[in-house]
Amino acid sequence: MKTTYIMQKEIRESILTPKGFLWYILASIILSVLSYLFLTNSELSLLDQGQMLYMIMNFITALGLLMGLVFGADAFAGEIERGTLEALFISPVNKTEIAIGKLGAALTNWWIIFVISLPYLFVVGKGGQNLLTGIVYLAILGTLLPLSFPPFPWDFQRG
Amino acid sequence: MIVNVDNLVKRYNDYTALDGLNFDVREGDIFGFLGPNGAGKTTTIRILTGIIKADSGNILINGYDIFREPMAVKEIINALPESNGYYEWMTAREYLKFFSNLYEEEMSGQEIDSLLEAVGLHGKEGHLIRSYSRGMKQRLGIARALINKPKLLFLDEPTNGLDPKGRRDIHDLLIDLNRKQGTTVFLSTHLLDDVERLCNRIAIINYGKIVRAGEVKKGTIEDIFFLSTKEGAL
Ligand SMILES: Nc1ncnc2c1ncn2[C@@H]1O[C@H](COP(=O)(O)OP(=O)(O)O)[C@@H](O)[C@H]1O
Ligand SMILES: [Mg+2]
């Protein structure tokens, strides 16, 4: 339960913000441009559908990784810098609960990117046999991404 | 004794920040933990509140060993850290709601508002913390530290950076809390004026050691402080 409260706070702090929305808008613009090029550019459209799908999935994974890193870098460093972590640690919530809450928010972020990219995957991979495999692969990969989080500052000390 | 510190040692790499600290705090005290910058006040409070580990020594808080039963201790204490930061995008109400959720007992909107009123933030409950002055933030920090109705409240230099009015407000708040709720207050400060107005007992820390402890007699604190912290008097 306490984990849920931490996660809600994280989501409000980093996803439901102008900056968060900017990321998602940027992601859909880039995905739109990419898909448009794939489908209209004569050279690129020579690529077979599987290759196109593969390239666009790579892009989505890279985006997820990048955002995961930005998230992860700020998860604890940001709270230490703003002086808010200590009050959390004084509360009767253990460090694992805090860490899982933050991880949950990072995962939520990934799922948003995933949902945004679904329509593009369908358009680019339409009718192809690889589409479903690709989507499943992407879902699993992305879910593992936030595990690239930096380690938790178990022995909290401000330098 | 609500706090019992016995031979506490803390090292940061090679540097010994706390060098065998011994002191007690009695229940009902407004205890002044006094010392110059860098003496080890913040380090001591972080250890007593279970935020960092010590290298050796024993600490009992209300009879609980902070190292063995940190969760039991956290239920009966709270603290306002030094230069405490806030989730500035929250309103004061949301801020208290969030922290109250981390305690088992949830607070109702009414309870939250009356706590905010008690620290003098009436009428500002729905404002973003971003718009708060330093003194208002400090009062909100104290409200947060009162969520679990602690028996023992740690405050790490709570009047730092406040103007005279802001400082007086904090003083009045703490005196009130001590008299009406019987809360024991552990106040770290390097401002002698805080001690004069508030504390009935003090301990003076310098270079990680207690150099003086005892009752406060009004008007003598400045002499005592300089006598016990000046080089050579250790
Ligand atoms: N995380 C840390 N790493 C290394 N040294 C530290 C750290 N925190 C505090 N210190 C050192 O320990 C000493 C005591 O610091 P502190 O407890 O913050 O003193 P005070 O709160 O009395 O000003 C200082 O010399 C400080 O530089
Ligand atoms: Mg300090």
Neighbour count for residue B5 (Cβ, 10 Å): 24
Whether chain B has a CB inside 8 Å of the CB on A12: the answer is yes
Q: Which ligand is nearest to the CA of B51?
A: 1
The answer, yes or no, to whether residue B207 has pLDDT greater than 70, is yes
pLDDT in tens, chain A (159 residues): 899 999 999 999 989 999 889 989 999 999 999 888 888 876 666 667 778 888 888 888 888 888 888 877 888 889 999 999 999 999 999 888 998 899 899 889 889 999 999 999 888 887 777 788 888 888 888 787 766 666 555 555 443
Of B50, B85, B145, the CB nearest to A84: B85
Cα–Cα separations (whole angstroms), residue B158 to A42, A159, B84: 68, 20, 9
Q: pTM for this one?
A: 0.90
Task: Please tell me which residue, B45 or B192, carries the higher pLDDT value.
Answer: B45
Alpha-carbon gap, residue B209 to B9, rounded angstroms? 10
Whether chain B has a CB inside 8 Å of the CB on A96: the answer is no
- State the distance from the centre of ligand 1 to the C-alpha of B3, rounded, in angstroms: 22
Burial code of B37-67, b = ≥16 C-beta within 10 A, e = fewer? eebbbbbbbbbbbbbbebeebebbbbebebe
The answer, yes or no, to whether residue B78 has pLDDT greater than 60, is yes
Token pair of A52, please? 């196109």
* Mean local confidence (pLDDT), B143-150: 96
Task: Please tell me which residue, B229 or B86, carries the higher pLDDT value.
Answer: B86
Token pair 């090292």 is found at B11
pLDDT (0 to 100) of residue B224:
80
- How far is CA B218 from its chain centroid? 22
HSE-CB at A29 with a 13 A cutoff on CA atoms is 6
Residues 6+ away with beta carbon under 8 Å from B160: B82, B83, B191
Interval A132-144: pLDDT, tens: 888 888 888 878 7
Please state the domain extents for chain B.
3-86+138-229
CB A64 within 8 A of CB A143: no
- Average confidence score pLDDT of chain B: 93
Interval B24-35: pLDDT, tens: 999 999 999 999
- 3-state secondary structure at position B188: strand
pLDDT (0 to 100) of residue A159:
37
Beta carbons of A86 and B81 less than 8 Å apart: yes
Q: What number does the ligand 1 atom closest to the CA of B43 have?
A: 17
Alpha-carbon gap, residue B212 to B21, rounded angstroms? 11
Q: Using most ligand atoms within 8 A of CB, pick from B12, B13, B37, B204 the residue to mutate for ligand 1.
A: B12
The answer, yes or no, to whether residue B208 has pLDDT greater than 70, is yes
CB B207 within 8 A of CB B19: yes
The answer, yes or no, to whether residue B136 has pLDDT greater than 70, is yes
Q: Which CATH architecture has domain B3-86+138-229?
A: 3-Layer(aba) Sandwich (3.40)
Instruction: State in Å, rounded, how far the first CA of chain B is from the last one.
Output: 27
Angle at A117 between CA A114 and CA A122, to 5 degrees: 120
Task: Please tell me which residue, B186 or A43, carries the higher pLDDT value.
Answer: B186
